[in-house]
A and B are shown apart, each in its own frame.
Chain A
């Protein structure tokens, strides 16, 4: 009897360990209440992803200039201005709620529900992107290499990373 319960405790221990190790960190929540996305929502997801792809494409132009001196300062500055322009569409392209919880029906979708539960905070990150993009565009036209490097890091961390850390979920 005693022996049996020790064995049982051992089995629990192994199971507990397995489970704990495989989930060592951070919140998990999704895949719970799946809603069906309609065509309108699917189109919204497509549109916002396309806009973000364009933002990424312009960012690459700037990064190549800053890190590898490819292209010209004028081209990089124009790309930064373009990002600032795309950023003004953030309130509109995220207006339709379609979260990563609905990913089974809308395909790859990394928008966290926090975008809509904390809409003001989200819009604030969009504003930061607009401001940082304007600074980046200006610095690219007039700054020295050191200033450009420094602004590029701030632009990326604050303008892009700050929003993705809070409002973009993992790839699924």
Chain B
């Protein structure tokens, strides 16, 4: 009896921590078809690219239509290695290239949270990709060239806040997926990390987050934290577009300490005026 109770408590703690990880990792936007009135996490959101349209899958714990039948190992393999339970590689439109750095605890807590959500009976829609992008197996080679799996390793030359900021920015928050430019073969050039993306996901510019003149040079740490909390910029403008979604479903729910940690990390980057 007593044992059961404490087990329940442990599970509910994990679910609570997982809810926070879920926000910080911004899983909601891509996996919910808000425009089409879809249920939370039931997938079906169209992610359009010039090479075809991805439809995000159902990640509710439905045993048939969602991921309810997955083992812990299956879930970890998806986030850390970008591999499905059948052993197929995922497309990097699922940003496991960033999530690979998540800690074991965060992955386990996130899974506990997802498995505590309502299962939804919505069938996955197949992606509508042009040839040859439609050939999933070809991704294997790309992955061997550009993807390295592994949890974030703390830099012990830096303090705890900086490390937390690096972890949130580079891995959980996957900020670079939008804010870093892509080189010739689609991989991020490390020397241009977060230096802005002239050809962002919407075809427009995504701003430079390094402390360069055309970036965040004029922003204080509290300016950055304020932008992530409510969207305000130092000029009195309010961020919108895809960043509006990141703020609404993600960063506005983070603790002030975590927002400051992100700001500390961004301010520590070498100023880089970008590509």
Verify that A and B bind, or say they do not: yes
Interchain CB contact under 8 A, B186 and A164: no
The 8 Å CB contact of A28, one of B97, B185, B186, B202, is B202
Interchain CB contact under 8 A, B145 and A63: no
Query: In the bound complex, what is the Cα–Cα distance between A166 and B187 (angstroms)?
Result: 29
B40 on interface, CB distance cutoff 8 Å: no
The 8 Å CB contact of B186, one of A10, A18, A163, is A18
A29 on interface, CB distance cutoff 8 Å: yes
Choose among B177, B182, B201, B238 the residue with the greatest number of A CB atoms under 10 Å from its CB: B238
Segment of A19-27, A33-41, A130-138, A139-147 in the binding face: A19-27
Q: Is the interface of A mostly helix, strand, loop or mixed?
A: helix
Interchain CB contact under 8 A, A22 and B186: yes
Interchain CB contact under 8 A, A170 and B204: yes
Residues from chain A with a CB closer than 8 A to the CB of B184 are: 18
Query: In the bound complex, what is the Cα–Cα distance between A59 and B233 (angstroms)?
Result: 10
Interchain CB contact under 8 A, B204 and A23: no
Interchain CB contact under 8 A, A23 and B49: yes
B51 on interface, CB distance cutoff 8 Å: yes
Segment of B57-65, B163-171, B239-247 in the binding face: B239-247
Interchain CB contact under 8 A, B50 and A23: yes
Choose among B186, B236, B247 the residue with the greatest number of A CB atoms under 10 Å from its CB: B236
- Count, chain A residues at interface, CB 8 A: 47
A91 on interface, CB distance cutoff 8 Å: no
A172 on interface, CB distance cutoff 8 Å: yes
The answer to whether residues A164 and B204 also contact, given A16-B138, A17-B146, A19-B49 and a CB cut-off of 8 A, is no
Query: In the bound complex, what is the Cα–Cα distance between A167 and B241 (angstroms)?
Result: 7
Residues from chain A with a CB closer than 8 A to the CB of B199 are: 22
The 0/1 profile, CB within 8 Å of B marked 1, for residues 139-169 of chain A is 0000000000000110011001111111111
Interchain CB contact under 8 A, A14 and B135: no
Interchain CB contact under 8 A, A63 and B247: no
B229 on interface, CB distance cutoff 8 Å: yes
Query: In the bound complex, what is the Cα–Cα distance between A25 and B178 (angstroms)?
Result: 8
- Count, chain B residues at interface, CB 8 A: 59
Residues from chain A with a CB closer than 8 A to the CB of B70 are: none
B237 on interface, CB distance cutoff 8 Å: yes
A60 on interface, CB distance cutoff 8 Å: yes
Q: What's the nearest-Cβ distance from chain A to residue B179, in Å?
A: 12
Query: In the bound complex, what is the Cα–Cα distance between A2 and B265 (angstroms)?
Result: 49
Identity of the chain A residue whose Cβ is nearest the Cβ of B142 in the assembled complex: A17
Interchain CB contact under 8 A, B145 and A14: yes
The 8 Å CB contact of A161, one of B206, B226, B236, B239, is B239
Query: In the bound complex, what is the Cα–Cα distance between A24 and B95 (angstroms)?
Result: 8
Interchain CB contact under 8 A, B47 and A26: yes
The answer to whether residues A20 and B236 also contact, given A13-B142, A14-B145 and a CB cut-off of 8 A, is no
List 5 additional A-B contacts (Cβ < 8 Å) besides A56-B236, A161-B238, A164-B239: A10-B138, A24-B177, A25-B242, A161-B247, A171-B207
29 contacts between A and B (CB under 8 A): A12-B138, A13-B141, A16-B135, A16-B139, A17-B143, A17-B146, A18-B184, A20-B91, A20-B92, A23-B93, A23-B201, A24-B92, A24-B93, A25-B93, A26-B201, A28-B49, A31-B203, A59-B238, A153-B229, A153-B230, A160-B231, A162-B244, A164-B240, A165-B241, A166-B244, A169-B202, A169-B204, A170-B200, A172-B203
Name B residues whose Cβ lies closer than 8 Å to a Cβ of A: 30, 46-51, 91-93, 95, 97, 132-133, 135, 137-143, 145-146, 177-178, 182, 184-187, 199-207, 222, 226, 229-232, 235-242, 244-245, 247-248, 252
